[in-house]
Amino acid sequence: MSNTPATEAPRRRTFAIISHPDAGKTTLTEHLLLAGGSIRAAGQVRARGENRRTRSDWMKIEKERGISVSSSVMTFEHDGKVFNLLDTPGHEDFSEDTYRTLTAADAAIMVLDAAKGIEPQTLKLFEVCRLRDIPIITFINKMDREAEDSLALLDEVASKLQLDPSPLYWPAGSGNRFRGMLELKTGLFYPFTRRESGSEYDQGHEAPAPLDQAVTKGWLDQGELDELRDTAELLEGGFKAFEVESFLEGHMTPVIFGSALRHYGVNQLLQAIGDFAPAPKTVAASKAGTDTAVDPTDKEVTGFVFKVQANMDPNHRDRIAMLKLTSGKFQRGMKLKVQNTGKQLSVNAPIMFFASDRELAEDAFGGDVIGIPNHGVLRVGDSLSESGTVRFQGLPNFAPEILQRVRVKDPLKAKHLKKALESLAEEGVTQLFRPSIGSDFIVGAVGQLQFEVMADRLANEYGLDVIFEPSPYAEARWLGGDAAKIEDFAGKHRSAMGTDIDEFPVFLGKSAWEIGYVAERYPDVKFLRTKERG
Ligand code: GDP
């Protein structure tokens, strides 16, 4: 079989769903898999979450290895395309984890609850997408419930996100009066077939027909038809027609309405992802120190680690590094080198994330994600390639917003604590700082929830009962600039100096004001809010 990077990479669509909790991300994920034909019944994605070890049929490895990786990526094939759906954590704290996952996505689906519009978390995640020029498709969900006025919703997208919404469809009604939607380009009406609540829906609603047949077919009454026609005319003047270029540049978002729960609008969404979402792009990189660009059709296998999942099995301390491939044809058993350490890995047991129970794939291409089991060799932000000389721009660490001192209740376990904290920091769950003086561990996070997750994991995976205490420091900044200048500065501020997990020098300030103050006095030293490793 001649599947080559040139034929395979362009078929890939790698995307993530961004939404505020409860907007319907999980439900939509499930129904996309259903639409893609890779699961047969609703309820499986949720079941997988609740009851992973027994229900998921495709993660035989999961059982064998006692790990759970299923929710990170779901790959399914549909209509000649390979879809990789990346899971983003669903909680409210903006986390670096989410940010990093989005660095691996080539497009995003923004799910809005039709009754709520743009909510705080939607906005935050949107901003991350904008920062990385990720094109966005908008899915307005829960049309089977009383919704806000659709025009008002699109106005909100335009004003809050500075993004041109371009409706591909227009809904007729919402809630109990939701009848379906009109495809603006073709004039076809897609009826919404309501079923008894609680009854098993099948995958189909009735097939679409031209709008002027909607009354005879009993889908709309004359009043509804007239109203829909009037609005459709209005839309032509009110919104720009959809342009793929503008979408890909991040200026425009196509809009689809639907109900994930009722499996309505989901096929249309999948179609839009297949048609418009970009195939993996050429990525800027350096090779042996020289600037270059890596194209997905290039022969050399390259990729970067955007996430590490560790300790799914506390007995094995296994870690799965999630590698987004950027080029080449990856094959099981292949040797890849880590750029910054030069270490070589034989990737004999890569995990591929097919959502169906088909056999695991033997190869993967640009756009795909593979999981590489390892014992701490791979870190978030690592670049891997056959030659070992390709380096992608690192994934940034952000200066934490909360710093706390952590202690273990049983003093005999201090050594264990060090190891555990280092391991969680390597995984990117939290950041770890060691002040130059004393034996404290200072843990930094972007949100409070990360501390809870951390305490939980320290207890469950490492058997460590920890206490977080207020830290004497409020802000951390990485130091950059001339090495001699940094050393001079560090010498004079020993009590406020520390190092991070990579032994980078860090200034630990008591307040933002203090940082501003020292920064002014030491103009040759940079006080950095982000750090790129590599
Ligand atoms: P997530 O937090 O974004 O993953 O949201 P979920 O998928 O868990 O959905 C939150 C709630 O909204 C659940 O009770 C779903 O059943 C419900 N829900 C999701 N989509 C729809 C929809 O299209 N219509 C209705 N009526 N409810 C929905």
Q: Per-residue pLDDT tens for 88-139?
A: 765 555 566 777 888 899 999 999 999 999 998 898 889 888 878 899 999 9
User: What confidence tier does 502 reach under pLDDT thresholds 50, 70, 90?
Assistant: confident
Per-residue pLDDT tens digits for 368-382: 999 888 887 888 889
**What CA–CA distance (Å, rounded) separates 83 from 345?**
27
* pLDDT score at 309: 76
Give the bridge partners for 322, in sequence order. Answer: 307, 371
| CA 434 – CA 195 distance, rounded (Å) | 60
Look at 262 and 65; give whichever has higher pLDDT: 262
Q: Which residues line ligand 1 (CB under 6 A)?
A: 19, 21-27, 90, 141-142, 144-145, 259-262
Q: Which atom from ligand 1 is nearest to the alpha carbon of 258? A: 23
Cβ atoms within 10 A of the Cβ of 514, count? 16
Dihedral sign, CA of 25, 26, 31, 32? positive
Distance CA 528, CA 129 (A): 22
**Residue that is written with structure tokens 């979408």 in the block:** 247
Instruction: Give the residue, 166 or 341, on which the prediction is more confident.
Output: 166
Q: Is 188 in contact with 208 (CB distance < 8 Å)?
A: yes
> Pairing between strand 12-19 and 81-86?
parallel
Output the CA 55–ligand 1 centroid distance in Å. Answer: 21
Contacting residues for 313 by C-beta, under 8 A, at least 6 apart: 65, 66, 67
Residue 359 has pLDDT above 50, yes or no: no
**Helix pair 120-131, 96-103: axis angle to 10 deg:** 40
Please tell me whether residue 45 adopts helix, strand or coil conformation.
Answer: helix
| Chain CA centroid to CA 385, Å | 23
What is the tens place of the pLDDT at every residue in 273-308? 999 999 999 999 999 889 999 999 999 999 999 888
Kindly give the distance from the C-alpha atom of residue 170 to the centroid of ligand 1, in angstroms, as a whole number. 21
The answer to ipTM > 0.90 is yes
Q: What integer pLDDT is reported at residue 356 of this predicted model?
A: 55
Over pLDDT 70: what percentage of the chain?
A: 86
Given pLDDT bands bounded at 50, 70 and 90, which one contains residue 212? very high
Mean pLDDT of 161-173: 97
Q: What is the mean pLDDT of the chain?
A: 86
Q: How far is the CA of 23 from the centre of ligand 1 (A)?
A: 6
For ligand 1, atom 17: residue with the closest CA:
24
- The annotation status of 205 as a binding-site residue, yes or no, is no
pLDDT for residue 324 = 95
